[in-house]
Copies of this chain bind each other. A is one copy, B any other.
Amino acid sequence: MPKKYHHGDLKNALIQAGVEILAKEGAGGLSLRKVAQRAGVSHSAPYAHFPDKQSLIAAISTEGFTQLYTGLEAAISPYSKNPKKQLLEGVKAYVRFAEENTDTFKIMFSGVLEKEKDYPSFVEISSQTFKLVVEVIQACQNAGILPATAPADLMAVSVWGQIHGVVSLALEGQVSHTLLNKHTIQEIASFGLAQMLLT
């Protein structure tokens, strides 16, 4: 469904334009009018597909979560017999996504999207992503790699929070320059994770 009738598949073109502007100018430079211009339509054309700006941002975030989800799944699926490897590769994929799509990552988690529950597909994909994390964590618990002292969902938030926190702090420039000279974000995040592992 690439080119359709009137002007093409405008809805997706707008999302794509938004992602590009986000990558080029950051969240501060993201405006509906610029998105419209980049897609080659007039300034209020987006209102045929999105009721407001928040809705476009929700779509961009949803797109980001979809990418993150598929990236995670691709990273762990080859190692269904090796939970520890799944965990390590999943973390690597998570960090890589954050580094390669910094501004999308920020918009996904930075509270720019105000009423997330109003966007069902966003809720769907983000909770599905969390479910994926829980599965890996549970497998690790069953394999004795992570402690089984708590339900998998609680443990999952802890592990995910660990990685997410380190990545977020690093992206915000809150990790000291001297530390980032000695280690990559990947290494710092992996080190934090290693603290929680049993073996």
B195 touches A161 (CB 8 A): no
With beta carbons under 8 angstroms apart, the residue of B126, B154, B165 that contacts A161 is B165
A160 at the binding interface (Cβ < 8 Å): yes
Tier of interface size on chain A: 35 or more
A168 at the binding interface (Cβ < 8 Å): yes
- Copies of the polypeptide in the assembly: 2
Report chain B residues within 8 Å CB of A183: 154
A119-156 Cβ-contact flags toward B at 8 Å (1 or 0)? 00000001100100000000000000001001001100
Of the candidate stretches A3-11, A32-40, A76-84, A170-178, the one touching chain B is A170-178
A169 at the binding interface (Cβ < 8 Å): yes
B168 touches A153 (CB 8 A): no
Most buried by B among A111, A162, A176, A178: A111
